[in-house]
């Protein structure tokens, strides 16, 4: 442990005397046990049990990214409380952003951490299946009843793998719904339609080109197709047309609508696919994007510098908030607006429960204490604010209910603990006020769906070990034949579609689809997504 923390431990132990370093040597927890009723039918009841805290436990918590300057100062304050409540301390462990994923794997395989940040994009499902994390079901029913009740059974169910819960998610519903970010000032200036459909987008783009022929429309890139969702990023715009369960459909050219997720259909071999490719060619021929789009790899500043009037891929409400700020700071009078595709299709939902969560690493020597500490971080407002914002009066203040930063030495969420966000106690920043307006709008729609506020797709973890070679071959075909088709850089769409279909079949598409569909059907069946 760090030197400052060690001094706290010694001082606290001296005060506590022979009963241990904490404010007591036990804590009462609830244990659900089977008891026999007079009818000899098993019944369930809760019974109090004392958890021994006499031995101090020092936990390691591995989170994302780099440490803030005042890491130790904030940890000292956190550990004063943890020692008093649970006779435990936490040592936050960090790495550089560039080394994060490498160290993440090392922390798990070496069992160097006790608590660890998890996310679906960090292969949570596969890691849980491989035994990387502790199954939490028993702990949630004994030590973690408060956090279990806070999170709710539905969210915990989304964090289950093969019938066991392996992570505790945060409780702030964050919508990262993909959509179109566009220049509202130009729309108003030229009296153009709101781009809330493919037809209106086209009219919006055409109107700007007619009034200002030198103005760029879209800056696009060609993505690596290893994710098997799209090769040319402007194709994401099709999400405003289809209520698919995931961004740009399922992999391998399959699709399923949000309200019938288990009903998978073939998009690549459909008439819709041909029609959509012809639309994208029409957009390319009109000059919405550069003819060199397939070799472009960077568009990060195009929108804020005026090189394009919209972005249709990879956008979400958080990026829209950033765009608003950037355009305001630019001083040109430009305005940004945003439409989530789910607003149009009515298939909208917050990030999956495994988007930001916490797991206990398999090998943790005291999982009960780890659960107590995790529960406190989420449920105890004082601890939650400490680990999220630092020390009040030193690092931040609250003015009219809004977070106000006082020091660069510990910024907002300086420990990068997005996994510990509590929607009931989270302090909003000024920008969060506008963001919450978006979220409230999406929440109202999400509540009316067949699966209210449930992100169906992101809880699914495909295991393609048996068809890795075919999957890579399909990916290569997508980049070679699908990307130019989506970019409209082909002479004959019908001929290019047939060539793509032939090549992707030859690459092993049917093998990939068979493996995927079997897993997807089992997943939908397990969660009742029918």
Q: Whole-model pTM above 0.75? A: yes
- Give the tens place of pLDDT for each residue, 377-425: 999 999 999 999 999 999 999 999 999 999 999 999 999 999 999 999 9
The secondary element (H helix, E strand) that includes residue 528 is none
pLDDT band at 154 (very low <50, low <70, confident <90, very high): confident
Q: What is the mean pLDDT of residues 187-193?
A: 98
Q: Is 6 exposed, middle or buried (0-12, 13-18, 19+ CB in 10 A)?
A: exposed
Task: State percent of the chain over pLDDT 90.
Answer: 73
Length of the chain: 530
Q: pLDDT at position 227, please?
A: 52
pLDDT at residue 100, rounded to an integer: 83
Q: pLDDT value at position 365?
A: 95
To which residue do tokens 């090549």 refer? 503
Do 348 and 445 form a contact (C-beta atoms < 8 A)?
yes
Mean pLDDT, range 124-145, rounded to an integer: 95
- Residues 6 or more apart from 169 whose CB is under 8 A from it? 151, 155, 156, 158, 159, 353, 354, 355, 356, 357, 419
Please classify residue 121 by burial: count the beta carbons closer than 10 Å to its beta carbon, then call 0-12 exposed, 13-18 middle and 19+ buried. exposed
Q: Which of helix, strand or coil describes residue 448?
A: coil
User: Kind and range of the H or E element at 530?
Assistant: none
Tens digit of each residue's pLDDT (9 = 90 or more) over 285-325? 999 999 888 887 666 789 999 999 999 998 999 999 999 99
**pLDDT over 70 (residue 528):** yes
pLDDT value of position 300: 75
pLDDT computed for residue 48 by the predictor: 46
Integer CA distances (angstroms), 251 to 234, 514, 515, 522, in order: 17, 12, 11, 16
Straight-line distance from the first to the last Cα atom of the chain, in angstroms, rounded to the nearest whole number: 50
Q: How confident is the model at residue 12 (pLDDT cuts 50, 70, 90)?
A: very low
Confirm if 217 and 210 have CB atoms less than 8 A apart: no
Average pLDDT value for residue range 142-160: 94
- The mean pLDDT of 173-191, rounded to a whole number, is 96
> For position 49, what pLDDT does the model report?
58
Residue 239 has pLDDT above 70, yes or no: yes
Q: 453-468 b/e with 16+ CB inside 10 Å = b?
A: bbbbbbbbbbebeebe
CA distance 355 to 487: 31
Span 85-104, pLDDT tens digits: 999 999 999 988 888 888 89
| pLDDT at site 229 | 56
Query: If you average pLDDT over every residue of the chain, what do you get?
Result: 88
CATH of domain 59-169+353-434: 3.40.190.10
For residue 205, what pLDDT band results from cuts at 50, 70 and 90?
A: very high
pLDDT of residue 245: 80
pLDDT at residue 23 in the model: 42
- Higher-confidence residue: 458 or 488? 488
């Amino acid at each position: 442990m760090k030197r400052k923390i060690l001094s706290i431990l010694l001082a606290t132990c001296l005060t506590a005397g022979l009963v241990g370093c904490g404010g007591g040597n036990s804590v009462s927890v609830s244990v659900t046990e089977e008891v026999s009723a007079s009818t000899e039918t098993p019944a369930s009841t809760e019974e109090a049990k004392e958890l021994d805290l006499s031995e101090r436990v020092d936990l390691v918590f591995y989170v994302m990214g780099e440490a803030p300057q005042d890491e130790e100062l904030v940890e000292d304050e956190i550990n004063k409380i943890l020692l008093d409540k649970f006779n435990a301390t936490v040592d936050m462990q960090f790495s550089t952003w560039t080394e994060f994923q490498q160290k993440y794997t090392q922390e798990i395989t070496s069992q160097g951490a006790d608590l660890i940040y998890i996310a679906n994009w960090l292969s949570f499902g596969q890691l849980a299946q491989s035994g990387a994390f502790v199954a939490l079901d028993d702990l949630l029913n004994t030590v973690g009843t408060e956090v279990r009740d806070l999170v709710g059974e539905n969210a915990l169910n989304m964090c289950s793998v093969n019938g066991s819960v392996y992570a505790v998610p945060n409780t702030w519903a964050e919508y990262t719904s993909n959509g179109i970010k566009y220049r509202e000032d130009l729309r108003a200036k030229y009296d153009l339609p709101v781009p809330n459909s493919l037809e209106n987008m086209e009219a919006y783009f055409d109107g700007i080109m007619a009034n200002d022929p030198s103005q760029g429309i879209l800056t696009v890139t060609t993505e690596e197709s290893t994710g098997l969702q799209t090769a040319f990023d402007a194709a994401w715009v099709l999400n405003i047309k289809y209520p698919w369960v995931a961004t740009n459909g399922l992999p391998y050219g399959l699709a399923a609508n949000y309200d019938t997720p288990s009903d998978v259909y073939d998009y690549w071999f459909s008439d819709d696919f041909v029609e959509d490719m012809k639309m994208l060619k029409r957009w390319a021929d009109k000059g919405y994007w550069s003819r060199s789009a397939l070799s472009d790899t960077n568009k990060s500043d195009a929108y804020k510098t005026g090189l394009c009037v919209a972005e249709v891929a990879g956008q979400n409400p958080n990026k829209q908030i950033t765009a608003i700020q950037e355009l305001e700071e630019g001083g040109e009078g430009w305005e940004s607006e945003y439409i989530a595709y789910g607003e149009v299709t009515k298939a909208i939902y917050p990030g999956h429960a495994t988007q930001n969560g916490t797991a206990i690493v398999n090998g943790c020597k005291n999982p009960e204490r780890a659960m107590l500490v995790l529960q406190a971080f989420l449920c105890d407002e004082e601890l939650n604010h400490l680990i999220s914002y630092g020390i009040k009066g030193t690092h931040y203040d609250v003015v009219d209910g809004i977070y106000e930063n006082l020091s660069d030495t510990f910024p907002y969420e300086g420990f990068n603990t997005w996994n510990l966000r509590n929607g009931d106690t989270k302090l909003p920043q000024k920008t969060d006020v506008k963001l919450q307006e978006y979220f409230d709008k999406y929440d109202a729609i999400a509540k009316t769906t067949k699966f209210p506020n449930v992100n169906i797709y992101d809880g699914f973890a495909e295991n393609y070990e048996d068809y890795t070679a075919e999957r890579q071959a399909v990916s290569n075909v997508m980049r070679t034949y699908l990307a130019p088709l989506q970019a409209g850089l082909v002479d004959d769409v019908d001929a290019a579609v047939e060539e793509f279909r032939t090549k992707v079949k030859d690459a092993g598409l049917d093998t990939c689809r068979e493996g995927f569909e079997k897993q997807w059907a089992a997943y939908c069946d397990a969660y009742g997504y029918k």
